[in-house]
Chain A
Amino acid sequence: EADIYQTPRYLVIGTGKKITLECSQTMGHDKMYWYQQDPGMELHLIHYSYGVNSTEKGDLSSESTVSRIRTEHFPLTLESARPSHTSQYLCASSVPGGRAFEQYFGPGTRLTVT
Chain B
Amino acid sequence: AQKVTQAQTEISVVEKEDVTLDCVYETRDTTYYLFWYKQPPSGELVFLIRRNSFDEQNEISGRYSWNFQKSTSSFNFTITASQVVDSAVYFCALYRGSTLGRLYFGRGTQLTVWP
Report A's interface with B, CB cutoff 8 A.
Answer: 9, 31, 33, 35, 40-45, 48, 58, 88, 90, 94, 100-103, 105-108, 110
Contact = CB atoms under 8 A, between A and B. Distances in A.
Contacts of A101: 33, 35, 50, 95, 101, 103
B101 A100 contact: yes
A94 B47 CA distance: 13
Contacts of B107: 40-42
B43 A110 contact: yes
Contacts of B37: 105
Contacts of B103: 43, 45, 101, 103
Given A101-B95, A105-B45, A106-B44, A45 B102 contact: yes
Contacts of B44: 105-108
Interface string B72-115: 00000000000000000001000100011111011110100000
Interface of B: 4, 9, 33, 35, 37, 42-45, 47, 50, 91, 95, 99-103, 105-108, 110
A33 B105 contact: no
B91 A48 contact: no
Given A101-B50, A108-B44, A40 B108 contact: yes
Contacts, number: 55
Given A40-B9, A41-B107, A101-B95, A31 B43 contact: no
Interface of A is mostly: strand
A108 to B, nearest CB: 4
B3 to A, nearest CB: 10
B105 A43 contact: yes
Top 5 A-B residue pairs of the complex, sorted by shortest distance between their CB atoms? A100-B101, A105-B45, A42-B105, A108-B43, A107-B44
Contacts of B91: 42-43
Nearest to A100: B101
Given A100-B101, A101-B101, A103-B101, 7 more contacts: A33-B101, A42-B4, A42-B105, A48-B102, A101-B103, A105-B45, A108-B45
Nearest to B6: A42
A40 B10 CA distance: 10
Nearest to A32: B101
